[in-house]
Amino acid sequence: MASHGLTYEGCNFLRQRLVLSALSGKRVKIKNIRSKDDEPGLRDFEANFIRLLDKLTNGSTIEINQTGTVLVYQPGLLYGGTVEHDCNPQRSIGYYLEALLMLGPFMKSPLKATLRGVTNDLTDPTVDLLKSTALPVMKKFGIDGEGFDIKVVKRGMAPGGGGEVVFTCPVRKTVRPVQLTDPGKIKRIRGVAYSVRVSPQMGNRIVESARGILNQFLPDIYIYTDHMKGANSGKSPGFGLTLVAETLNGYFLSAEMLSTPQGQGDPILPEDLGRNCAKLLLEEIYRGGCVDSSNQSLALLLMTLGQQDVSKVLLGPLSPYTIEFLRHIRDFFQIMFKIEVQKPLEDERKGGDKVLMTCVGVGYSNISKTLK
């Protein structure tokens, strides 16, 4: 009587598939993982992610074949509790944290996850970015309360790592439907310019250049400098900038930029980094919407898992990752989104096309939570 499974090919979107599988209780089989590659099979960071998922769940079975090209995952119950995990330094903690953000509210007991590894790198959204954008998005869905936080204890830059992040998340039985249709105007821009194992002056140089661009639009800009020293500074040098624009209605758009990791590629000047990052933020603002591009899938997931009511959210253009996520949602939950493109009016100067996503939730309720 076990529920029928779903079959996919290739290692891309592995996290989405496993997370949705864990939430929906459907078995998932992933074939041909890098089957044509010189090194076939799962990479270390993926195996590491699966191990993390195993720590969070109770009663899940994972089967991987000899070469690692086929993965079968039968999800168990999301257990939560206190978890410590050493993340693989090939990917940053953001890679793991994105999945945890999706699973966190639906555990049996409140989650307190301590993740160790690379906090900031170029490929994944950094911890700072998730902290400043993903948490407010989840708060809109009623996932809030004491102990809902991401805390950067130690910062570890790309190749070496050595950072530590504590993510705590309360448990919810249901998620409430939302109507996020009016982003409102941007009232302030905040940011963090961080640097480790380099001159503390780097931060200030980044701030200067970033302000130079953003001041054309808004006077209310404040960028904190965060220089971590000693034991809290990880193993590799580096610096970076995360910018967050807050709108009147409490939505957050963000952009970030990092220095190239030590020993990989050309070094980047902090001034250039600041400028480029500011431009990235402008790009993000141009895309617009109520949820920024890296959290689109999170918002869509929470909409899907809401009550059987209509939820709406206005997004910027859909990223390829989100598009694949939508397909996966249809596979796992049989939910299709109504996608409407909102063109900007002629004389409006509010950036590019927006996409209004509408769906009816599945009426998901947290079946892990104990009734007393």
Identify residues 45-74 at the interface with another protein (CB under 8 A).
58-59
Contacting another protein within 227-256 (CB under 8 A): 248
Min dist CB 323 to another protein, Å, is 5
Q: Tell me: does residue 223 bind another protein (CB under 8 A).
A: no
Closer CB to another protein, residue 193 or residue 214? Answer: 214
| Residue 34 binds another protein (CB under 8 A) | yes
Q: Does 111 bind another protein (CB under 8 A)?
A: no
Query: End-to-end alpha-carbon separation of the chain, Å?
Result: 29
State the pairing for strand pair 186-196/221-228.
parallel
**SS3 call for 1:** coil
Nearer CB in complex with another protein: 32/199: 32
DSSP 343: P
Helix (H) or strand (E) holding 257: strand 252-258
Cross-sheet strand order for the sheet of 310-315:
179-180, 310-315, 354-360, 338-342
The single residue among 293, 301, 303, 313 that binds another protein, judged by CB under 8 A, is: 293
Q: Residue 344, SS3?
A: coil
What's the longest Cα–Cα distance across the chain? 63
Chosen residue from 131, 209, 297, 328 binding another protein by CB under 8 A: 297
Note whether 265 binds another protein by CB under 8 A. Answer: no
Q: Which of 166, 198, 232, 321 binds another protein (CB under 8 A)?
A: 321
Q: Which position among 5, 145, 212, 363 is part of the footprint of another protein (CB under 8 A)?
A: 363
Closest among 253, 247, 200 to 224, alpha carbons compared: 200
Question: Which residues, 122 to 181, sit near another protein by CB under 8 A?
Answer: 123-125, 177, 179
Single out the residue of 28, 37, 67, 113 in contact with another protein (rule: CB under 8 A). 37
CA–CA separation, 331 and 335 (whole Å): 8
Query: Which of 19, 56, 98, 131 is in the footprint of another protein by CB under 8 A?
Result: 98
Could you give the 3-state DSSP secondary structure of residue 233?
A: helix
In this complex, which beta carbon is closest to another protein, that of residue 14 or of residue 228? 14
